[in-house]
Structure 1
Amino acid sequence: MCTSITFQSENKLNFFARTMDFGFELNGMPIAIPRNYESTFHFEGTLKTTYAFVGTGQKMGEYMFADGVNEKGLSIAELYYLNEASYKSEPVDGKINLTQDEFLTWVLGHVASIDELKELSKNIELVGVKNDLVSAVTPLHFIVSDKTGRCVVVETNDATLTVKDNPVGVMTNSPNLEWHLTNLNNYLSIQPTNFASKELDGYTLKPFGQGSGTYGLPGGLTSPERFVRATYMKAYTEKGQTELEAVNSIYHILNTVTIPKGVNVKDDGHNDYTQYRAVFNLTDLTYYFNPYYTQEVYSVKLTEELCSKDDVTVFDVPHTFEINKLN
């Protein structure tokens, strides 16, 4: 479970954001990968990054990421795609063969824009390989945005990689993008203003109070419900005049799809909850990170110093809840 959105402020800064909802402790942390950093891919061998990037990752042999933004302003997040994802069983000669877990990291290190991604995807195959952390082949799809604000979703259909334009800039989990977009048509009545009073057989019907326009807005935690709710919140939440006002608005949107521990328990007893929320400014390359155990937001700017370092930079983030006392 995860939710991701794009967002644009009043002063035309473009953002990309996500919740990371999972039932297994991922222990993701802010990590910056410099240009020309060498890492080993399952089928492609040792490759050097063309572009530096920063995102939420973990070292599992090689550094693996769940989201990030690179120095060209391209951002990507992976989201669970249960019962829908399909991968090649073997690498294909003459193609770029990546495991499903490597794709995001490869994109951040080698792709500058959505246009380039669409072109390169014609030569990419995703090959299903078991992820040792979860002991399974992870079913994934991906949402991508770049500094222009455009958005696409990358999904597999019959083991073929497909890049789909995403007109609403929102993605959650299964089903596929087309299903979610069609489902939005069920919610034409949802609006930020109250419904007007109405006469019915001589009897006047009136709203009880504020919020009548949102009656019927889904409130559950399923993927379709979160997709509809995030789309509505994104469309009507104030955009903010500055970067920090926009980031504040985005976190308020993410609050509406954030999952506390204990309210969504898997069959194996593990909590599926929002382990962190990340926001990326695609215009000036700042990454905002908020882990579950604190309300503080931490930021990393992808500076030239980080981009040109000789090694990876891992940022420690406190996971303690603190109060700013006023007396």
Structure 2
Amino acid sequence: MCTRILWSSLGSTRMAHGGPDKGNVLVGRSMDWYQDTETILAVRPRGEERWSTPSTPDDPGNFTWTSEYGSVVALMYRKAAVDGVNEAGFQVSGLYLSESEYGERDTSRPGIELYWAIQWLLDCFGTVDEAVTEITGRNVQLIEDDLGEKPGTGHLALADRNGDSAIVEFRDGKAVVHHDKKYTVMANSPWFEDQLELQKRYEGLGGDQPLPGGVDSPDRFARAAYYSAQLPATSDAREATAYMFSVIRNASAPFGTADEVRPNISTTRWRTVADLTERRYFYESTTSPNVVWVELSQLDFSKGRPELHLDVVAEPDHVGNVTGEFTPARAPR
């Protein structure tokens, strides 16, 4: 479930030739899930104080932070930040990974609950390098939460406006970080280094097998890697966004393809494209013909401003630039 692509409109996404570093830097991702995700968009200001383990505030590894950056996030089930971008052009996506091993809680380590991990990164860091340094240096432990009726086991993809990239997975309770601009594509199972090897069997990616058309994770990974590498260069931000949507749609899973036996195969519920250069965040629901976007440059992220929400589920007729259509959150976080 889920696919992520990092691409530059004037750079190269071919892993052998380095990653995105020129033109507009964009991230596209699909959210595949077994049921409707009830996702809303939220604008979160600077200066907000948060707890890392709000469900268990007495956890000795609980830590606090104050948001340094404002952000726009997609809240799954109206509460868990699973995707977003901050005002510095730093972007984080959470994708499902059944193999993830968060480990038994070690209270000697700082811990953070799944619902708040992506928000912590967006609140506190402006680049991939800063975030990776903190994740590895502090030995942070991720604490599992259920998403809907499923365990929220996953891995993280980080990107910034310089085209830097990192994939963070969790094994035996420890973070395993793949940090390099060349890591532009990510899907679900298996582990990331195995995904890199699997793609080499296909034509155009080092092998001789036909490019796969299925919805299994390696199939989606291969198509995302192949087609993102074929995108033409453009200096037009609108065209660049259209190009990214064309590829992430190609790596999506249509309705009717969900498989209860294989949890990595679910219907695509929504897609986002984040233009990290322009600081523009697009959202597309697969149950609505409309694409909406938020201009982060037009938002007031000042300390003391309220958190704002836009309900794209209950109000599916939003279209175009919705920056001015957010309203104050009705319930406390």
TM-score, normalisation: structure 1 = 0.82
CA distance in 2, matches of 1:273, 1:136: 15
Residue number in structure 2 paired with 1:312: 307
Residue number in structure 2 paired with 1:176: 191
Identical-pair percentage: 25
Residue number in structure 2 paired with 1:99: 113
Give 1:58 shift: 4.5
Give the 5 Å matches for 1:50-199: 50-58=68-76, 63-82=79-98, 84-93=99-108, 95-122=109-136, 123-131=138-146, 133-166=147-180, 167-187=182-202, 189-190=203-204
CA distance in 2, matches of 1:257, 1:279: 13
CA distance in 1, matches of 2:266, 2:201: 27
Residue number in structure 2 paired with 1:195: none
Residue number in structure 1 paired with 2:327: none
Give 1:267 shift: 4.5
| Equivalent of 1:48 in 66, 78, 89 | 66
Give 1:157 shift: 2.1
SS at match of 1:105: helix
The 8 Å contact of residues 121 and 163 in structure 1, kept in 2 or not, is answered as no
Residue number in structure 1 paired with 2:248: 254
Q: Write the letter of the residue equivalent to 1:22.
A: W
Unaligned runs of at least 5 residues, structure 2: 11-21, 54-58, 320-333
For residues 67-92 of structure 1, what are the alpha-carbon distances to aligned partners after superposition, in whole Å with 9 as ceiling and x for unaligned? 1111111101000001x211132243
Residue number in structure 1 paired with 2:323: none
For residues 122-173 of structure 1, what are the alpha-carbon distances to aligned partners after superposition, in whole Å with 9 as ceiling and x for unaligned? 2142243332x43454211011111101111001122111221252400000
CA distance in 2, matches of 1:59, 1:312: 17
- Are positions 1:28 and 2:39 aligned together? yes
- Are positions 1:15 and 2:26 aligned together? yes
1:321 and 1:46, CA in 2 relative to 1: closer, same or farther beyond 3 A?
closer
CA distance in 1, matches of 2:76, 2:85: 16
1:20 and 1:136, CA in 2 relative to 1: closer, same or farther beyond 3 A?
closer
* Farther-moved stretch of structure 1 (96-105 vs 113-122): 96-105
Give 1:320 shift: 5.4
Residue number in structure 1 paired with 2:326: none
Q: Write the letter of the residue equivalent to 1:6.
A: L
SS at match of 2:195: helix
The 8 Å contact of residues 24 and 235 in structure 2, kept in 1 or not, is answered as no
Give 1:214 shift: 9.5
The 8 Å contact of residues 53 and 69 in structure 1, kept in 2 or not, is answered as yes
CA distance in 1, matches of 2:287, 2:141: 34
CA distance in 2, matches of 1:267, 1:178: 24
RMSD: 2.6
Rg larger in structure: 1
Residue number in structure 2 paired with 1:208: none
The 8 Å contact of residues 293 and 320 in structure 1, kept in 2 or not, is answered as no
The 8 Å contact of residues 254 and 267 in structure 2, kept in 1 or not, is answered as yes
TM-score, normalisation: structure 2 = 0.81
SS at match of 1:307: coil
The 8 Å contact of residues 240 and 249 in structure 1, kept in 2 or not, is answered as no
Residue number in structure 2 paired with 1:290: 284
Question: Which aligned segments of 4 or more residues in structure 1 are displaced greater than 4 angstroms?
Answer: none
Unaligned runs of at least 5 residues, structure 1: 192-212, 323-327
1:242 and 1:229, CA in 2 relative to 1: closer, same or farther beyond 3 A?
same
The 8 Å contact of residues 37 and 77 in structure 2, kept in 1 or not, is answered as no
1:130 and 1:289, CA in 2 relative to 1: closer, same or farther beyond 3 A?
closer
